[in-house]
Amino acid sequence: MNQIIKTLEEQQLRELPSFEIGNTISVSFKIKEGEKERIQQFEGVVIAKHFGSKNLKASFTVRKVTQGYGVERIFPLHSPKIDMIKVVRKGKIRRAKLYYLRNLFGKAARIKEKLYSK
């Protein structure tokens, strides 16, 4: 029985771009409104990842501030509703979870960009 479940989970795993905590990403996901289906963008900072990337139950939390209110959304990583994930900026952080951003606002809530030299 466990082998059957494992093979079904392996079939549903998707290839997604690698992103880390602290990165600013844009998630395109499908929303169903009545009979129609459309794609909506959600751009924000990844503040947490859960269970790694090899697990079907893996998820990540994205936070953005809209009109002064913080909005967080949890996305299942291998969901068929997610159309595309695009990394906008790479962040320079030293923590595994960025829950402290919930208490900050304005310039204090910014994350420095990770710069690479050639």
Write out the DSSP string of 42-107: EEEEEEEEES-SSSTT-EEEEEEEETTEEEEEEEETT-TTEEEEEEEE-B----S--GGGGG--GG
Q: Contact 28/82 with Cβ under 8 angstroms?
A: yes
Q: What is the separation of C-alpha 90 from the centre of its chain, rounded to a whole number of angstroms?
A: 13
Q: What residues contact 87, with CB distance under 8 A and at least 6 apart? A: 17, 19, 23, 24, 25
What pLDDT, in 10s, does the model give residues 73-118?
Answer: 999 988 889 999 999 999 999 989 999 988 988 888 888 888 876 6
What pLDDT, in 10s, does the model give residues 3-30?
Answer: 888 888 888 888 888 899 999 999 999 9
Q: Domain 23-107: give its CATH architecture.
A: Roll (2.30)
Residue ranges of domains in the chain: 23-107
